Structure 1
Amino acid sequence: MLDQLNSTAFTAFGQHVIWSDMVGNLAGLAALALGWRRSVATWPVQLLSGLILVAAYASAQLGGGVGKQLLVITVALWGWRQWRVGSRASGDGQITVRFATWTERGVLAAGAALGTLAVGGLFTAFPDLSWNPWPDAYIFVGTLVAMVAQARGLVEFWIAWLLVDLVGVPLAFDSGLPFSGLVYLVYLGLVLWGMRDWWLRSRSAPSRPALEGAAA
């Protein structure tokens, strides 16, 4: 099955696009669109995307990418639970969104910085894990920060995804995963659109966040 997933789907402009790269990223794109719609379905689709993309990053010998997808799978299970509770509390089946407090922003920023240093140091010490350690570590940790913020219903999750995309696009092309690079470009458009939508919705959201009782 892995051989089939990592076989070439098509070739364009001299780049070989493998099935796992294409299907996994299309699922990820669908998950992001569902997240913009505040649909709980974003999490099972994200889970499926992570499972498929494990094979894609393994074929490119990007340990950080593989680890990131395993982390995506874990956080997707947690986020799924969070949003199911939050959607029931909202009454309309959709999650209530809000801006993070300054304390939450500080925790997310510090976690991103310290996490990148720790993971980047690990990849540098063990070069077999990743051929491009620091960008790989940045994307690994940035994805975790974005998904945690999304699970909490924070508008800032879109900003985190935007910062991940800025590094993810060139890294994907350099790693021989052109479809990932193209999808990252589409992500940029969806991120800007989704950020505007969540920003506007947060202005009319209740002051008590829907996920507060599900944060544990």
Structure 2
Amino acid sequence: MSLLHDLNSQAFVAFGEHIKWSDMIGNLFGLAALALGWRRSVVTWPVQLLSGVVLAAANISVHLAGGTGKQLVVIAVSLWGWSQWRRGSARAGGELRIRFATWSERAWLVLGTAAGTVAVAELFQAYNLSWAPWPDAYLFVGTLAAMIAQGRGWVEFWFAWLAVDLVGVPLAFNSGLGFSGLIYIVYFFLVIAGMRSWWLRTRTPQQSTAVLEGAAA
């Protein structure tokens, strides 16, 4: 309990925002994970898992059920994605295969995100789990969608992260997680750079083995 209290204590004040240790450390891990994902390094997943653990503590401290749930999703999907990338890289001779999702895959991703957001927002409202149920629910479901897309090696995962960030920035500032709001500016540029890198990767010859070939078996 003492460690959780220390993590959620104030580190410093920046631009009038009170910065928590958990908010800062978790987001620095998140930045590292995003940069590693840009380079298609499998290490992105364990680093992302650490980010999820620390940021879960930050969201618990400001009563954001969706934000906390989002980090639990990050933890669970990080384990799944770590396994998928290792298997995919092994099948493709050590090189992760990047591709665009098909139109049907995109449709399922968008529809699943929309339906999931409505369902989770209604749950948050019914049980008073969040002071901002709709954006909080969107962050929770949108993060799940983005990480599933990342685990499958789809370029669209970068677009999904941008959509999540657009809602995450104002919610972070309004929730007292100032470092999260400030760091999203850096995230934005990393996401654009990563998107370009993966996009160009789809235009160069790659191994024919898909990342998740046979994963459903």
Could you state the TM-score of these two structures normalised by the residue count of structure 1? 0.96
- Percent identity between the aligned chains? 68
Work out which of the residue numbers 40, 43, 46 in structure 2 matches 1:44.
46
- Equivalences for 1:65-84 in 2 at 5 Å? 65-84=67-86
Higher mean alpha-carbon deviation, 139-148 vs 177-186, is at 177-186
Residue 209 of structure 1: how far off its partner (Å): 2.0
Match of 2:210 in 1: 209
Q: Aligned-pair distance for 1:211?
A: 2.3
Partner deviation per Cα, 1:51-85 (whole Å, 9 max, x = no partner):
01111001111011111111110111000000000
Whether contact under 8 Å (1:40, 1:94) holds in the other structure is: no
Structure 1 position 85 matched with structure 2 position 77: no
Taking the aligned partners of 1:85 and 1:201, their CA distance within structure 2 comes to 19
CA RMSD across the alignment = 1.2
Q: How does 1:77-156 map to 2 (within 5 A)?
A: 77-91=79-93, 93-127=94-128, 129-156=129-156
Tell me how far apart the structure 1 counterparts of residues 29 and 216 of structure 2 sit (CA, whole Å): 27
SS in 2 for 1:67: helix
Aligned to 2:32: 30
Alignment: residue pair count: 214
Query: What code does the residue aligned with 2:110 have?
Result: A
SS of alignment partner, residue 16 of structure 1:
strand
What is the distance in 2 between the residues matched to 1:215 and 1:142? 22
Q: TM-score, normalised by structure 2?
A: 0.95
- Aligned counterparts of 1:206 and 1:160: Cα–Cα separation in 2: 25
Partner SS, residue 96 of structure 2: coil
Contact between 2:89 and 2:95, CA under 8 Å: does it hold in 1? yes
Distance 2:32 2:103 in 1: 31
The alpha-carbon deviation at position 215 of structure 1 amounts to 4.4
Q: 1:183 to 1:94 in 2, by over 3 A?
A: farther
| Divergent runs of 4+, >3 A | 205-208
**1: CA distance, partners of 2:44 / 2:178:** 24
Counterparts of 1:144 and 1:183, CA distance in 2: 20
Q: Structure 1: which amino acid aligns with 2:211?
A: A
Distance 1:137 1:114 in 2: 11
Instruction: Give 1:14 deviation, angstroms.
Output: 2.4
Go from structure 1 to structure 2 and tell me whether the alpha carbon gap of 1:7 and 1:82 turns closer, same or farther (over 3 Å shift): same
